[in-house]
Chains A and B, each alone.
Chain A
């Protein structure tokens, strides 16, 4: 009788799992602009006192290469450059903790590699005397077994600041925060 009950339970569990896996519903409202978008825009955007968009775009491509990115796609007429970079994402602290807590299996779940994607858009400023640059970064992190651990947008202020510091140097112009 006990076995029966256990069997029933496992059956129920199996169906529950299948049901959950079956319904990946699309959330509503993910194409709505939220309040944070203005804040993010300020972090991602800078304005330069020049109308030479091509010069800015060329400098941007140069900075991305300086940072070890590989250029993937571009469209000069729209002021667009995309690049990506594969790099190590191993965190020694994380590995030590996971090894202590869960052994080899847990270590395999630790971050291993990451691909960072950068996308840059330039366009003329509203007053016609400046060029606006907006860069966005994303990353995909794989674990030690080569499975995707997580995907995320990079919203770290420092990352953007460093990028624009390099860009400002590259075009010998002071970036004006907007």
Chain B
């Protein structure tokens, strides 16, 4: 009997701890970075030897569509594209920006979010850029 009381007491403390934890919604948490800024940038960014921003953006859109993303927003001036993909019951959102790098290159940066988690796995971004490379090659070729 005594033991079970102890257990109940511990459980109450534990649960109240969870409740208190649940009440706090630190806004600062949304601004935390898991990876170093430089590392994150490098895994999310690639440069391409082209200056055709419009074509690059259209290729990014095609690639995203091939990956089952539905495009939500796109802006040529800003060079931004946002899309959503459903993976089972999870929602994946991705935004891609295209901007000039010097006079001969374009910089493409992709960042993805899986549910409430930011994706910081280099291999995942590499998969996207591999597809993008292939698509750029494809759209340069005549395919009938």
Number of A-B residue pairs at CB separation under 8 A:
121
Chain B residues with CB below 8 A from A82, complex form: 70-73
Q: A26-B117, A79-B58 are in contact. Are A40 and B123 (CB under 8 A)?
A: no
| CB closest chain-A residue, reference B60 | A78
The interface residues of chain A lying within 8 Å CB-to-CB of B16 are: none
Q: Is B142 an interface residue (CB 8 A)?
A: yes
- The interface residues of chain B lying within 8 Å CB-to-CB of A123 are 58, 62
B36 interface residue (CB < 8 Å to A): no
**A50 at interface by CB-CB < 8 Å:** no
- Is B72 a contact partner of A30 (Cβ separation < 8 A)? no
Shortest beta-carbon distance, B116 to chain A, in Å? 8
A63-71, A93-101, A130-138 - interface stretch: A130-138
**A148 CB, min distance to chain B CBs, angstroms:** 8
Q: Which residue of B lies closest to A148 (CB)?
A: B89
B32 at interface (Cβ–Cβ under 8 A)?
A: no
Contact yes or no, B127 A31, CB < 8 A: yes
Question: Of B66, B74, B76, B142, which is in contact with the most chain A CB atoms at under 10 Å from its CB?
Answer: B74
Q: Which residues of B contact A44 (CB under 8 A)?
A: 65
21 residue pairs from A and B, CB less than 8 Å apart: A7-B4, A7-B8, A24-B115, A27-B114, A28-B123, A29-B124, A32-B127, A37-B66, A41-B66, A73-B74, A78-B61, A82-B71, A82-B72, A82-B73, A119-B83, A121-B61, A121-B71, A123-B62, A126-B143, A136-B65, A137-B70
Residues of A bordering B, CB below 8 Å: 3-4, 7-8, 11, 18, 24, 26-33, 37, 40-41, 44, 72-73, 75, 77-80, 82, 117-119, 121, 123, 126-127, 134, 136-138, 150-153
